[in-house]
Structure 1
Amino acid sequence: MLLKDKLKKKEFVITGELTPPKGTDCSKMFRVADELKGKVDAVNICDSPMATMKLNSIIASHLIQEETGLETIPHITCRDKNIIALQGELLGASRLGIKNILAITGDDPTAGDHPQAKAVFDSNSISLIKAVQKLNTGFDINDNNLKGNTDLIVATAANLGAEDLDKEIERLKVKIDAGADFIQTQPCYDLDLLDRFLDKTKDFNIPILIGILPLTSYSMARYLANKVPGIEIAPSILERMKDKDENEGIKIAREFLKDAYSKIDGIHIMSASRSDILLEVIDGIVK
């Protein structure tokens, strides 16, 4: 069943995440995708995350689908291309058999491995969502006719740990009005935070996949808690991760998923191309 059909039927959805290689050797990417096939409904393919250059997300997605049959959700960012190029990229993605994309604004190049690169940011995630929906109807954003339309569903990101959650919710409403078909959130570790977010989004008419990022070390937990805006990690969880490894992080993720499972539409597991971790998190919990 295609992801869009499962979302439409409001069945529980699982998505994973892969980062393309920095180079042309796709063997690991294919291996992980093959291990996830049949276990997840689709896998996100990052677009040079943290502004670190990687194989193009659309090309990587196409290769994964051709090699393994696993459905993909390439990230498309506004960082590197203007709206002309972005629309051309969306046309190409659709022509290559890609059915879904995640529209994101993108990270500042100064954070990556090419700090001298100039950011474009000609548009943002909202205008990119609008562009997807226009192309789906057979027109570009300036209402010029297309010879053949796209057939894409578009996801948007949400930060349920935003410092100003009400502002984040208002922005999500704008994204939904622009045409977002479903939401994937940043990682969540706290049930109270999840409940607050779900209460504020209870009237949304699109599925929300809650982000789960299994911790693999205490240093990772501290970094996320102190350096990444919007990710809240309770002191009790930080204490649990002291002198512990990924096994404790998997336990924490499983506990959260078990408690949250009946409340949510699905999950987006960010396991850094670790299929073993993703499969351990969902084992015996997801029906």
Structure 2
Amino acid sequence: GGCCGTTPAEIAAIDEALAGERKPRARLEFAERELLVSLGEELLETGLARALREREWVVTIQLDPPLGGSSKGLVELAHAIGESGKAGYVDINDNATARAGMSSLIVSATIERQAGIETIPHLTTRDASVMGLESMLLGAHSEGVRNILAITGDPPEVGDYPGAQGVYEIDSVGLTELMTRLNRGEDFNGRPIDAPTSFFPGVAVNPTPDDLELELERFHAKVEAGARFAITQIVFDLDYFDRLTERLGGSWPIPVLVEIFPLTSYRLALRLHNEVPGIVVPEALQLELQNAGANAAEVGCSRARELIEGARERAAGVCLVAPFRQPLRVLELLE
């Protein structure tokens, strides 16, 4: 067929060309692709993997990526944390509470390169397809970022884009499996990639879930998918951690870090307890904060220090979360 101005002569010429025998200029050949062996340095153990294997006490401080286009301030914070000697790692949120910020993987690569401290970026399955996640992971690996915490992510409706649709092509179990497959030298569908990776995949686990049986089922699935370490949801009472440990048979199948948050006010405690799914602030602590009034922050810090000491007997380390984007404040808890 043709558009305006096309005559029978043009149509006949097209028909003749299509009807004629067309041979490819080069013969098409299929061959098995050889799997390349990764460079030796790419298979080196991460500092976090080594520390957990040797049962060193691990401290990481959580950072929120910038909501703008400059990472300078965050790099300076990470450098200060490393220079303090109190924490060996920083873990980087990935669009936490469904707020769009700088890519956790890109900012982690920048921090490791410029601040010299190892990172544990979170990666959510909410914002990208399997293909997109694989692409991001391979790029991060080439930049030396190997510790990855796989998370499913908060639903979009709780954040700045309530009308957006989450991708969720896979969940955190699937993301853990993807990293395990990449480490074996294959993609999510089992096809070989050019060189295997050496990710150290971690997962989240919640000691205070609404459905403990479901949480246990998902945690076992994450371990089976290849998880090598875990970080808990924020914990304000280690009795919940002990309950989960007991349900796991008295010990954890992989090293676990306890996430700790120093409360600064009674109002903040109420907000976390009532509005953030999966977080439980015990009534006794709420009452103590309420009675403390203006001194509530001291109560919160005191409880956080107690939790850190209690975690030493139970876990492989702690992940400290600072209130109000002030990560240097939590260094005081380690004195």
Scaled by the length of structure 1, the TM-score of the pair is: 0.94
Correspondence for 2:306 among 237, 241, 255: 255
What CA distance in whole angstroms lies between the structure 2 residues aligned with 1:17 and 1:278? 10
Within the alignment, does 1:228 sit opposite 2:266 as a pair? no
Q: Are 2:232 and 2:259, in contact at CA under 8 Å, matched by a contact in 1?
A: yes
What CA distance in whole angstroms lies between the structure 2 residues aligned with 1:118 and 1:76? 17
Amino acid aligned to 2:301: I
What CA distance in whole angstroms lies between the structure 1 residues aligned with 2:226 and 2:238? 29
Counterpart mapping for 1:60-209 below 5 A: 60-201=107-248, 202-209=250-257
Q: By how many angstroms is 1:240 displaced? A: 2.0
Partner of 1:29: 74
Scaled by the length of structure 2, the TM-score of the pair is: 0.81
Q: By how many angstroms is 1:257 displaced? A: 1.9
Partner of 2:104: 57
> Rg: which structure is higher?
2
Secondary structure of 1:133's match?
Answer: helix
What CA distance in whole angstroms lies between the structure 2 residues aligned with 1:212 and 1:245? 17
Q: Which moved more, 1:78-87 or 1:111-120?
A: 111-120
Correspondence for 2:56 among 11, 16, 37: 11
Partner of 2:327: 275
Q: Which moved more, 1:265-274 or 1:55-64?
A: 265-274
Where structure 1 has 5 or more consecutive residues not aligned to the other structure, the ranges are none
Q: Are 2:173 and 2:225, in contact at CA under 8 Å, matched by a contact in 1?
A: yes
Amino acid aligned to 2:254: I
Q: By how many angstroms is 1:32 displaced? A: 1.6
What CA distance in whole angstroms lies between the structure 1 residues aligned with 2:251 and 2:312? 19
Fraction of identical pairs, as percent: 35
Residues 55-109 of structure 1: CA deviation (Å, up to 9, x unaligned): 1111110111111111111111111111011111110110011021011111111
Q: Which moved more, 1:228-237 or 1:238-247?
A: 238-247
What CA distance in whole angstroms lies between the structure 1 residues aligned with 2:128 and 2:238? 38
Residues 210-244 of structure 1: CA deviation (Å, up to 9, x unaligned): 11011122211101111222212112211222223
What CA distance in whole angstroms lies between the structure 2 residues aligned with 1:173 and 1:49? 24
Secondary structure of 2:203's match?
Answer: strand
Q: By how many angstroms is 1:245 displaced? A: 4.2
